C-alpha cells in the first residue's frame, strides 16, 4: 500500500452536506474513500480516451449451435492471445452461452476485438466494460 497524502478542500456548506449524505447513504465508511472512487472513475475514463494500456471485459451472449461460431470466437481470441488474459464460459440454456473475456491491451485494440467478436453471426449481444490495469488507481 502506498503512502497517504493529507490534503484539504473547501466546499460550500450545502454541497458539503450533500457529500456527507451521499457518503453515508451509499454505505461508505469514510469520505476519503468516496472521493477516491470518484477520482478513479475519472482516471479510467481518461485512460480509455488516451488509448493507454487498459483492462476490458467483453461479455458475449451467443447461440453455440450456430455452425462454426465457437470455432470463430476462439480463433479471434487466439489471434490476440497475448492480450486475452482469461475467458469464462457459462451455459445459459440448451443452446445459449455467455462468455466473459478479460483483455489487457491498448484501448483501441480492446475495442476492435470487442467489435470483431460482437459482429459474428449468432452472437446475440456483446458489451465492453472499461476498467484499468489498476496501476494508476492505487
Where in 5-64 is the site for a copy of itself (CB under 8 A)?
5-16, 18-19, 22, 26-29, 31-33, 35-44, 46, 55, 57, 59, 61, 63
Least spacing, CB of residue 64 vs a copy of itself, in Å: 11
Query: Please, what is the end-to-end C-alpha distance for the chain in angstroms?
Result: 8
Cα separation of 62 and 3, whole Å?
46
Q: Which of 71, 81, 82, 119 binds a copy of itself (CB under 8 A)?
A: 119
Q: Which of residues 88-117 bind a copy of itself (CB under 8 A)?
A: 88, 90, 92-93, 96, 98, 100, 102, 104, 115-116
Closest separation between CB of residue 91 and a copy of itself, Å? Answer: 9
Bridge partners, 60 (sequence order): 99, 126
**Of 27 and 78, which has the nearer Cβ to a copy of itself?**
27
- Out of 4, 78, 81, 82, the only residue in the binding site for a copy of itself (CB under 8 A) is 4
> What grid cell was written down for 36?
477516491
Question: Three-state secondary structure along 26-53?
Answer: CCCCCHHHHHHHHHHHHHHHHHHHCCCE
Query: Sheet holding 84-91: strands in order across?
Result: 84-91, 96-106, 53-63, 123-131
Amino acid at each position: 500500500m502506498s503512502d497517504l497524502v493529507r490534503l484539504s478542500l473547501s466546499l460550500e456548506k450545502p454541497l458539503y452536506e450533500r457529500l456527507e449524505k451521499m457518503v453515508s447513504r451509499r454505505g461508505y465508511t469514510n469520505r476519503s474513500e468516496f472521493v477516491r472512487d470518484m477520482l478513479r472513475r475519472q482516471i479510467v475514463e481518461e485512460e480509455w480516451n488516451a488509448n493507454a494500456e487498459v483492462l476490458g471485459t467483453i461479455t458475449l451472449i451467443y447461440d453455440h449451435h450456430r455452425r462454426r461460431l465457437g470455432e470463430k470466437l476462439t480463433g479471434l481470441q487466439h489471434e490476440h492471445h497475448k492480450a486475452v488474459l482469461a475467458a469464462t464460459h457459462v451455459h445459459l440454456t440448451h443452446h445459449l452461452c455467455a462468455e466473459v473475456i478479460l483483455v489487457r491491451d491498448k484501448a483501441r485494440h480492446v475495442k476492435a476485438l470487442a467489435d470483431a467478436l460482437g459482429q459474428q453471426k449468432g452472437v446475440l449481444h456483446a458489451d465492453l466494460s472499461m476498467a484499468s490495469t489498476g496501476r494508476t488507481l492505487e
